[in-house]
């Protein structure tokens, strides 16, 4: 398969495939004599794995670890679970931070009259004024 076909099959753009090859996340595809990349069904499977891991919010570094674990048939599932649990803890922290940001904005928006006057607690907070 060429890069266009593999992009369509994997749900990933050709640009992202080239990026992941350049960064070493995935192995670079072998090339033909005319310098075209040639992919196999296994490459599509790897790209789908990467795509799904990205969808779940794993970082590129974490995906590299997950790929290595996936390819290591003698691995223990403990390592995979530990990585997933650590990622969930990070997600929970980010969710909490987002909730706090949302609540702060809701409070500021509730106290902004939104009329023709210039007074606005949202802008005041951004400028560092006490509210």
Residue where the block lists tokens 């809701």: 106
CA 107/CA 44 separation, integer angstroms: 48
- Express each pLDDT in 6-30 by its tens digit: 999 999 999 999 999 999 999 999 9
User: Cα–chain-centroid distance for residue 77?
Assistant: 23
pLDDT tens for residues 74-125?
999 999 999 999 999 999 999 999 999 999 999 999 999 888 888 898 999 9
- CATH no., domain 1-75: 1.10.1660.10
């Amino acid at each position: 398969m060429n890069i266009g076909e593999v992009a369509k099959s994997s749900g990933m753009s050709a640009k992202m495939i080239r990026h992941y090859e350049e960064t070493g996340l995935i192995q670079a595809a072998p090339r033909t004599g005319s310098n075209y990349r040639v992919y196999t069904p296994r490459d599509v499977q790897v790209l789908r794995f990467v795509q799904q891991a990205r969808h779940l919010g794993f970082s590129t570094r974490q995906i590299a670890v997950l790929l290595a674990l996936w390819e290591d048939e003698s691995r223990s599932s403990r390592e995979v679970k530990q990585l997933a649990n650590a990622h969930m803890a990070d997600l929970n922290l980010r969710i909490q931070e987002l909730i706090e940001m949302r609540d702060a904005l809701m409070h500021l928006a509730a106290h902004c009259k939104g009329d023709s006057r210039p007074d606005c607690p949202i802008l005041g907070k951004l400028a560092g004024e006490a509210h």
